[in-house]
Every structure is written in C-alpha cells, then in structure tokens.
Amino acid sequence: MRRSPFRRPTGSAVDSLLLASVKIVTLGSTMANTMILSHSLSLTDYGTYAQGVLLVTICSDSTILGMADAVNYFFNRGGKRRLSRAYVRTIVMIQTFVGLVTALAMILARGAIGDYFSNPLLPPLIILLMARPMLTNMTSVFQVLIVSIGQARVIAIRNLVLAALKFIAVLITATITSDLAILFAMLLALDAASLLWFWDSFRRWCYPVWPSLPSWRRIRQILGLALPMGVYVLTATFMRQIGALVIGMNEPTERYAVYSNASMVLPLDLISASFLTVIVPIVTRYIGADQKERIRELFRHYLAVGYLTTGTFAVACLVVAPEVVQVLYGARYLDGLAVFRLYLVTAMVRFASLSLILSAAGRTRALMAVSLVAVTANAVLCPVLYALIGFIGPAVASVVVNAAMTWVLLRLSLKEIEGSLRSALDPHDLVLYVLSALAAAAAGAGARWALLSIGAPVPVIAVVVFTAVTAAVLALNRRSLMGSLRAINAMK
C-alpha cells in the first residue's frame, strides 16, 4: 500500500519534542505567573505564597514513595495484563492512603509550621494546601501510565489547558484580589480536575483504576522496589530545599521571598526533561532484554542533548543574569543576584537526570545510598556556610554537593551498563561545545556592555543577548545535536 504523504510523524524524539514544545509554552506560562505575582504582591505576601509552595513541594516529594517509578517498572515489565492491573491498583491504593494521612498531618501541624517560618499568615492557608500533595503524586503516577501506552499527546494537551487556567487564576489574583486564599483555592480545583482528566483518559484506553485491598505480599514487593527510590526523591527534594528551609528559619519573610525567587529552578532542562519522559520506558525494556549496547548508545545521545541544551541555556542566562532577574522578578529581587548565579551553575552541573539508568535497572538501593550521603552533606554545609558567609551560603553548598553527586551517579550508571566515560561523553564533541560556549559567552558579555552603554531597555538586553548566545552555541554544535536527536528518534 502506498504510504500517505500526510502521515503523522512518530518516534521517541518526535514525542519528546512534542512534549518539549508544549513544555516551553507551559513553563513560559509558569514563569509569567511568577513574574506577575512577584511584581504585583508585596514581599510579605509573595514570601507567604512561596512558603506555601515550598510546603506542598516537600510534602508531595516526601510521600510519592517512589510510586511513579514503581508503576513504570511493574506496568512495563509486568507480563500478563491481569498481573499488571493488580500492581497498578495496589500502587494507587498505597498513594491514596499515604495522601490522606499527609493531609491530616498538615492540618494538625499547621501551628508548628507557622512558628517555624515566623509567619502567622501561613497556618490559615494550610487547609487549602493539604490535599495538593496527594493530587500531585497521583497525577505523576497516571502520567507514567499515559506515556507507557503511547499517548504522550494527551499529556501535551492537558499541560496546555492547565497552564492556561493557572495563568487566569494568577491574573485574577493580581488584578482583582490579592487574597492568597482565593489563589490557593483555584489551584486546588485545577489539580483535582487535572487528575480526573488523566484517570478518565486511562480508563477509556485501558481500564479503570480504583484503589483496592491487595495481598500484603504484593504490597511488600512494591514497597521493596519503590521505597529506596522514594528515599532518593525525598533526598533530592531536600537537596533543593534545605537552603530555603535554612533561610526560612533565620531570615524574615521578605528576605525569604528574595531567596525563593533567586533559587528558583528555571526551566533550563525542558528539552532533556521531555526526552526523559519518553525514553524511560525504552530504557526499562532494553535493560529487561539485556541490550547493553543499545542502552549505552541511548544514554550517550541523551547526555549530549542534555548538555547541549541545558548547559547552553544556563550559560546564556549567566551572561545577562542582572537583566534576567529584573525582567522575571523586578528590581526588588536584585539582592539575590549572587544566589541566582550560583543556582545557574547548579543547573549546568545537573544537565541531565543521571538516575535514569540505575532507576530503570532497579538499582534503587544504590540511588538511595548516594542521595542519603549527598543530603547529609548538604544538611551540614548549608547551615555552616550560612553562619560563615551569610545569605549565599546555602547556594554555595548546593553547587559543591550537586557536582559531587553528579559525578558519582555518572560513574555508577556507566558501571551498570558496562560503559566508560569516553563512551558516554564524546571527547571531540565535548571540547567543541566548551570552547564554543566560552566564545559565545565572551561575545555576549561584550554585546551586553555595548547595549548598556547606549541605554537600551533591560528587557531588550536580556532577550537580545540571551537569544544571540544560545543561537551561536547551538549553531556551532548543530551536527552533534541533530545526530543525537535522529539516533534517539530511531529507538523503540
């Protein structure tokens, strides 16, 4: 049969780029939300909002318990359909129970939480925050299921719709009311609707998923795999948030607002993160079939996409860091410029998810051990460096600990797939990238100076220089980037 010229393109890279393009829109909307709230709310109100977000993040990551990785493992390697369904329903039951316990704990501890942050505005808002960790985690579980059945486009549509609705909620807060309770209520409703959408989509394509009461043997089997990964996720969260917790305990709410924005994780990894969503099931299947050569090839191309995109965006941001802070958050937040720059370096260090191989191989205990050591080191360094050098201390600790953790995870991953550093990072391509990034950064700094000297507006400087540096680096490394994209797209 003759193939239609209008056949829709498919493949892993196509799905990844679809998710990446949608993620650009949704993350652009998220950054717009941050910009609007930073400019429209007082430092006290924005600090309270940021503390609420921090609370939801810590509670959700503390209670995901590795269930997203477990559902990927058991759904894609579960064998018979009936067995796979039993595992999925057990995972949903566990997550539901843990989510309800977490909500109750948040309500009971709301007074202590307010005392920790020395912020009396926060405890009354917790009733609107308590269900969001469970909703967030359940959505993550269903997102893995949707991707595993080849329906990544559903995630793309959901993300677009949700981003638009959240943007509307922020506009209402900024223009009609500055009441944080109304904002958190709208966000709660949107999280609930998002989960219902995913659940219904999976019901229509596969089967309805209801919490059930399975055998204790199956629960133990799931927790045996998932809990070490859950510890890894938890420690990764504390790796990011220990600095914020130290600042929240020792600084007023207004200073916390500055640190919160300066340390915010910018969407610099949007390309590599979108690829990760799609290639996790592929890597899991390759490992199950013991196809180590294909795993090494896929890992090499994934790392290349990671440093060519995430690293490039971070370098471009560093060149115009003062302008980026002013555009995103306003001049009031320039006190956090040094923290902002240090977290850009952290983003460069963590250019890809190096837990990919170990997680897919079921080596969750190794991940747990590495992350426990890292979070312990960070927990010691953050308060010590805060006491020694003040506000930027936790950010310095983040750079040091993340660099060490990235190196250890890379070495363990290569050992798992019987690879070498040369097989993971092509020396010629890496040297070309480093030299081109340094040259583009130097040229960009010169262009920034010229634009400042003629009095160009801050947004113009930020956009022009960032775009020029990014375009130059990607153009000089086009062969390597396109080769990796094509190679990933060919893998099934």
- Judge whether residue 276 has pLDDT over 50: yes
What mean pLDDT comes out for the span 9-20? 56
Which residues, at least 6 apart from 180, have a Cβ–Cβ distance to it below 8 Å?
A: 45, 48, 49, 52, 121, 125, 173
- Counted residue by residue, the chain has a size of 492
The pLDDT of 8-24, averaged and rounded, is 57
pLDDT at position 6 is: 39
- Higher pLDDT: 474 or 31? It is 474
Structure tokens at 141: 């579980």
pTM: 0.78
For residue 17, what pLDDT band results from cuts at 50, 70 and 90?
low
- Per the prediction, the chain carries an average pLDDT of 85
Q: Are 417 and 359 in contact (CB under 8 A)?
A: no
Name the residue with tokens 């040297």.
431
4 confidence band (pLDDT: 50, 70, 90): very low
The DSSP secondary-structure symbol of 425 reads S
Q: Is the pLDDT of residue 15 over 70?
A: no
- Cβ neighbours around 372 below 10 Å, total: 15
The predicted pLDDT at position 22 comes to 65
Q: Encode pLDDT of 63-77 as tens digits.
A: 888 888 888 877 776
